[in-house]
Amino acid sequence: MKTHLSLLLGLALLAVPMAVRAQIYNYNGIEYYYVDENDIGIHGYNGPGGAITIPAAISNVPVTSIQVTAFLGNTSLTSVMIPGTVTSIGEEAFSGCSSLVSVTIPDSLTWIEYSTFGACYKLASVTIPGTVTNIDVDSFEGCTSLASVTIANGSGPTVIGNYAFSGCTNLNNVTIGNGVTYIGESAFYEDTSLGSVTILGSVTNIDNWAFDSCTNLTNVTIPNSVISIGSSAFASCAFTSISIPSSVTSIGQQAFSVNTNLTSVTICGGVTNMVEDAFYGCTGLTNVTILNGVTMLGSYAFGFCYSLASITLPGTITNIEGFAFAWCTNLTKVYCLGNAPSVGNAVFNANYVVTVYYLPGTTGWSAFSADTGRPVVLWNPGMKASGANFGVQNNQFGFNITGTNNFTVVVEACTNLANPVWIPLTTNTLVNGSFYFSDPQWTNYPGRYYGLGVP
């Protein structure tokens, strides 16, 4: 029995796999090992630093990978040239290389891993090739000297991960090429020098806090590909105008809040629900255009927009939640193009000067006035197409506009009623319920048509 037991134990030990440590070799300070007979991986570095070039091959075997933490914390490295044979770079491979100024990323790479270049404090610029489909979490976080980022056009879909460029406080210019579909949570959070972002037309999702607290961001265009804008995605930025395209169907809470330089907003009709706090605290906002399709304004949607004096609500709006215009203390005119919407508590809280104007034939305004405690007035402007003042006077075509006293109207013109493009000409206040309009440019057009709108 003893002999049989020893034999069985020996067989069992043979069945247990043995851990074999790969032999590490050295090439000019670059430590490497053979992944297999056809591939070499870079394991580490013990050279003098400065500018290094990682070889494409050693002893005719291609270098295909840079392993996890290979150059982690190397403070002597100033530049790195990565060859086109490398297809993968491991997590934290260059993290903490605090003297690294430049790096060449080859188009053989498809993935930039977690914190690959995190805390490379002197890295000045980076171009990421279009072959990269994932820029992982924290991959360039805290690169405080990084001034320019270009993500080249690619076939996608490419993801910019959470916090990928967060805390890059010197970053002033970002170009996001075609192929990128997702900008992750806090991807550029607190990049306080960021002034311009170019987003080309493949991004569909801009996640929560993506550009939050980019306090110098003055220039951004949201492309027609974007479907969703997350909570606080552009909060506390510095741009003066923003247009939300019709492709956007979802806007998160506080998405554009506390943009104190923001003066003009256009909201296309794809956004059916203007959620709470969307433009909260945009104290410089004076011009808001909301197109047909929006059905609800959330609570505090325009709260504390002190400079907002007038707004036109499309006929599709059926619900305004409580405090939607709270502390809009200069809001005097709300023009409604449909029936009275249902309202929540204190829609016009702390605003005692607002008047709501409604169109003939619309309903529900007595209840609206009772619910809000604010006056409602019939808005019925019109052109007087007769009388001595109608027609050519002193080589200018003119006519009287009549309507509600002190009501403001915009005279618009177009040249083709079949396919009209209305161009605003003048903004006029109906003092004593009337205003005379004349057009000095009418002789420049073989045919011109006029219409009335609201500011």
65 and 35, same domain (yes or no): yes
Q: Residue 15: is its pLDDT beyond 60? A: no
Direct distance between the N- and C-terminal alpha carbons of the chain, in angstroms, rounded to an integer: 101
Q: 41-50, 370-379, 399-408: lowest mean pLDDT where?
A: 399-408
Q: Residue 2: is its pLDDT beyond 50? A: no
The band of 447, judged by pLDDT with boundaries at 50, 70 and 90, is confident
Last residue of a domain, one of 379, 410, 435: 379
The pLDDT value given to residue 16: 40
290 and 325, same domain (yes or no): yes
Q: Assess if residue 257 is contained within a domain.
A: yes
Mean pLDDT (whole number) for 77-101: 97
Q: Residue 344: is its pLDDT beyond 90? A: yes
Q: Assess if residue 182 is contained within a domain.
A: no
289 and 357, same domain (yes or no): yes
256 and 360, same domain (yes or no): yes
Q: Assess if residue 30 is contained within a domain.
A: yes
The pLDDT value given to residue 21: 54
The pLDDT value given to residue 428: 87
262 and 337, same domain (yes or no): yes
Classify residue 444 by burial, with Cβ atoms within 10 Å: 0-12, 13-18, 19+.
exposed
What single-letter DSSP state applies at residue 355?
E
Q: Assess if residue 189 is contained within a domain.
A: no
Q: Assess if residue 11 is contained within a domain.
A: no
389 and 435, same domain (yes or no): yes
Q: Which residue's entry shows tokens 């945009």? A: 282
Q: Residue 157: is its pLDDT beyond 60? A: yes
322 and 397, same domain (yes or no): no
76 and 34, same domain (yes or no): yes
Mean pLDDT (whole number) for 227-249: 96
Strand arrangement of the beta sheet that strand 423-429 belongs to: 423-429, 408-414, 449-453
Q: Residue 284: is its pLDDT beyond 50? A: yes
Last residue of a domain, one of 89, 106, 123: 123
Rounded to the nearest integer, the mean pLDDT of the chain is 91
Evaluate whether 90 touches 66 at the Cβ level (below 8 Å). Answer: yes
The pLDDT value given to residue 130: 93
Q: Residue 53: is its pLDDT beyond 70? A: yes
Task: Determine the structural domain holding residue 266 and report its residue range.
Answer: 252-379
Evaluate whether 378 touches 395 at the Cβ level (below 8 Å). Answer: no
The enclosing domain of 393 has a CATH number of: 2.60.40
The pLDDT value given to residue 379: 84
372 and 386, same domain (yes or no): no
Q: Assess if residue 324 is contained within a domain.
A: yes
Q: Residue 1: is its pLDDT beyond 70? A: no
Evaluate whether 339 touches 313 at the Cβ level (below 8 Å). Answer: no
333 and 268, same domain (yes or no): yes
260 and 373, same domain (yes or no): yes
Percent of the chain as helix, strand, coil, to the nearest 5? 5, 30, 60
Q: Assess if residue 228 is contained within a domain.
A: no
Q: Assess if residue 179 is contained within a domain.
A: no
The enclosing domain of 49 has a CATH number of: 3.80.10.10
Mean pLDDT (whole number) for 160-165: 98
The pLDDT value given to residue 18: 37
The pLDDT value given to residue 454: 75
Per DSSP, the three-state class of 438 is strand
Q: Give percent of the chain with pLDDT exceeding 70.
A: 95
Mean pLDDT (whole number) for 2-17: 37
Mean pLDDT (whole number) for 59-73: 97
The pLDDT value given to residue 95: 98
Question: Strands 319-320 and 287-290, how do they pair?
Answer: unpaired
Last residue of a domain, one of 72, 91, 123: 123
The pLDDT value given to residue 192: 97
Structurally, how many domains does the chain consist of? Answer: 3
360 and 259, same domain (yes or no): yes
